[in-house]
């Protein structure tokens, strides 16, 4: 089985340090101890994003950035722009602001910051060598463990991928699709801004890969998701929901926009705008493609959305440079906890600078999420709480739905396959309500009157 040698970065780092030791003047190493973060606070995508933040400095300042196999980051350079590096470190700290490791202040009396260590080659070379040897020893242990480990039955392999792709062709993909409205709160009413159509990966996995971890190999899963994109786009034209009043959003890979299947669906939709939802890590992986697709979508009257952000990520990254039409922030209940870094005015300032009409708060399962979002200048929401409000209003205002339970209504409305929708005694009632009385807006949100037809200020 092919694998990436866990010692590769450490060995390359040692080689660079030893070469730099011959001319140590002005050389510096900066060590970010991300491996010391609590496991729940350092998901792999965050570690990749943290490393990517330094990418512009590699060309502008001649730095070398190493992502260690344990998750740490090491930066090596000569005449390093220390103020700029320090500003970037503060942005990365905000990315991991949930973790106590980021709470220390380097300006305290002892000047100790457990999150980062600076080494000057002229003074700290021996200590730096010992640290890197320790990193290499740990990486070599991981390498030995990897070679000894028996193959995991759950891993996604090229052979299994071939079988999964064959299985995809045998299913009705519409059974595994769901939709969910994004609702914009205005001064006197709430309106559906667009309907997201997405794949229920839990259902799909049961159907085609019950014993396989689809996410165990990122690049193989990428191949799987490209095939899934094409299957979804092929199945959607026969789904009634694409004729619903509001525009739709689709979770797709960037390159899928250039496929024949996408163009066919685009023709079926006619003048109705489309919102393309992409993951931040995919944006960083191919920034040129993102910019090209963004501009192409806008030229066609469509929009692009960067998905799965957190308040910390929004604070660490300057989204104005990527200039998406929308961003989605994931709600978590601890955001409302007193003293949480996301509970202050900083997030409100960031939202206001980006534009409140661009920001969507998703995974809103309680009223608390809506209240928190409105307080921070966010007034577009998605989640089960909004589904329940829309369902309640629909049942209470349409006599033909008398006796229908809220649970059944939400299940029928969220379905994409026509058979499930037609379990509703009056399927046309599922999309009858497109606006309803909104909760009162407060705080920063009240400053920004919006219209439901906007596309993020463009």
Instruction: Compute the average pLDDT of residues 366-392.
Output: 92
Q: At what angle do helices 367-375 and 384-397 cross, to 10 degrees?
A: 110
pLDDT class for 447, splitting at 50, 70, 90?
very low
pLDDT band at 147 (very low <50, low <70, confident <90, very high): very low
The model carries a pTM of 0.69
- When comparing pLDDT for 3 and 210, which is higher? 210
- pLDDT beyond 70 at 448: no
Assess contact for 89 and 32: CB atoms under 8 A: yes
Greatest extent of the chain over all pairs of C-alpha atoms, in Å: 84
Domain ranges within the chain, ordered by starting residue: 8-148, 162-447
342 confidence band (pLDDT: 50, 70, 90): low
Report the chain's mean pLDDT, rounded to a whole number. Answer: 84
DSSP 425: S
> In this predicted structure, what is the pLDDT of residue 152?
46
Round to whole Å and give the CA distance between 351 and 311. Answer: 10
Across 43-53, average pLDDT: 84
Alpha carbon separation from 304 to 182, 204, 228 (Å, rounded): 14, 25, 20
The per-residue pLDDT for range 241-272, each reduced to its tens digit, is: 998 878 999 999 999 999 999 999 999 999 99
If you average pLDDT over residues 274-298, what whole number do you get? 91
Structure tokens at 209: 């890969």
pLDDT of residue 154: 61
Question: Which of 145-159, 205-219, 286-300 reaches the highest mean pLDDT?
Answer: 286-300
Q: What residues does 177 pair with on adjacent strands?
A: 199
Nearest to 332 by CA among 323, 322, 341: 341
Highest CATH level, class, for 162-447:
alpha beta
Q: How far apart are CA 257 and CA 51, in angstroms?
A: 28
**Contacts (Cβ under 8 Å, ≥6 apart) of 169:** 231
Distance CA 183, CA 386 (A): 7
Spatial contact of 179 and 241, defined as CB atoms under 8 Å apart = yes
If one counts every other C-beta atom within 10 angstroms of the C-beta of residue 401, the result is: 20
pLDDT greater than 60 at residue 279: yes
pLDDT at 153 over 70: no
Q: What percent of the chain has pLDDT over 90?
A: 45
CB 193 within 8 A of CB 182: yes
Between these two residues, 304 and 100, which has the higher pLDDT value? 304
Write out the DSSP string of 23-69: S-TTEEEEEE-GGGS-GGG--HHHHHHHHHTTHHHHHHS--EEEE-T
Between CA 109 and CA 117, with CA 114 as vertex, the angle to 5 degrees is 95
Please report the pLDDT score of residue 99 as a whole number: 79
pLDDT band at 452 (very low <50, low <70, confident <90, very high): very low
Output the pLDDT for position 160.
87
Q: Indicate if the pLDDT at residue 290 is higher than 50.
A: yes
pLDDT in tens, 398-419: 999 999 999 999 999 999 999 9
Of the candidates 111, 121, 90, 157, the residue with the CA atom closest to the CA atom of residue 17: 121
What integer pLDDT is reported at residue 211 of this predicted model?
79
Q: Tell me how far apart the alpha carbons of residues 404 and 137 are, in angstroms, rounded to a whole number.
A: 63
Residue 220: pLDDT above 90?
no
């Amino acid at each position: 089985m092919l694998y990436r040698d866990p010692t590769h970065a450490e060995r390359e780092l040692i080689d660079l340090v030893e070469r730099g030791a011959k001319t140590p003047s002005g050389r510096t190493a900066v060590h970010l101890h991300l491996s010391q973060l609590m496991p729940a606070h350092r998901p792999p995508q965050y570690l990749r994003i943290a490393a990517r933040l330094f990418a512009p400095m590699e060309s502008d300042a001649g730095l070398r950035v190493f992502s260690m196999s344990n998750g740490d980051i090491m930066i090596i350079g000569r005449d390093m722009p220390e103020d700029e590096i320090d500003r970037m470190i503060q942005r990365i700290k905000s990315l991991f602001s949930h973790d106590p490791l980021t709470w220390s202040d380097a300006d305290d009396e002892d000047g100790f910051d457990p999150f980062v260590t600076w080494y000057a080659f002229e003074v700290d070379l021996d200590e730096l060598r010992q640290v890197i040897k320790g990193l290499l020893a740990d990486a070599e242990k991981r390498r030995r463990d990897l070679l000894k480990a028996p193959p995991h039955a759950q891993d996604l392999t090229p052979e299994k991928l071939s079988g999964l792709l064959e299985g995809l062709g045998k299913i009705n993909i519409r059974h595994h699709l769901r939709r969910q409205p994004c609702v914009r709160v205005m001064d006197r009413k709430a309106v559906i801004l667009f309907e997201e159509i997405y794949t229920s990966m839990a259902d799909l996995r049961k159907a085609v890969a019950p014993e396989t971890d689809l996410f165990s190999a990122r690049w193989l899963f990428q191949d799987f998701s490209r095939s899934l994109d094409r299957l979804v786009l092929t199945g959607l034209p026969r789904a009634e929901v694409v004729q619903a009043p509001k525009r739709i959003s689709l979770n797709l890979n960037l390159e899928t926009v250039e496929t024949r299947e996408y163009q066919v669906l685009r023709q079926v939709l006619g003048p109705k705008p489309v919102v393309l939802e992409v993951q931040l890590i995919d944006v960083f992986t191919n920034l040129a493609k993102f910019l090209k697709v963004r501009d192409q979508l806008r030229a066609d009257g469509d929009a692009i959305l960067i998905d799965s952000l957190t308040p910390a990520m929004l604070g660490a990254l300057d989204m104005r440079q990527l200039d998406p039409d929308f961003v989605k922030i994931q709600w978590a209940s601890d955001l409302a906890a007193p003293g949480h870094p996301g509970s202050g005015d900083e997030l409100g300032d960031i939202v206001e600078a980006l534009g409140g009409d661009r920001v969507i708060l998703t995974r809103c399962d309680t009223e608390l999420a809506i209240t928190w979002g409105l307080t921070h200048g966010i007034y577009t929401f998605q989640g089960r709480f909004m589904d329940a409000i829309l369902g309640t209003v629909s049942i209470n205002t349409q006599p033909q739905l008398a006796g229908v339970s809220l649970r059944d209504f939400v299940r029928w409305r969220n379905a994409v396959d026509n058979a499930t929708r037609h379990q509703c005694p009056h399927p046309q009632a599922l999309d009858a309500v497109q606006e309803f009385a909104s909760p009162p807006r407060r705080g920063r949100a009240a400053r920004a009157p919006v219209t439901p037809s906007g596309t993020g200020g463009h």
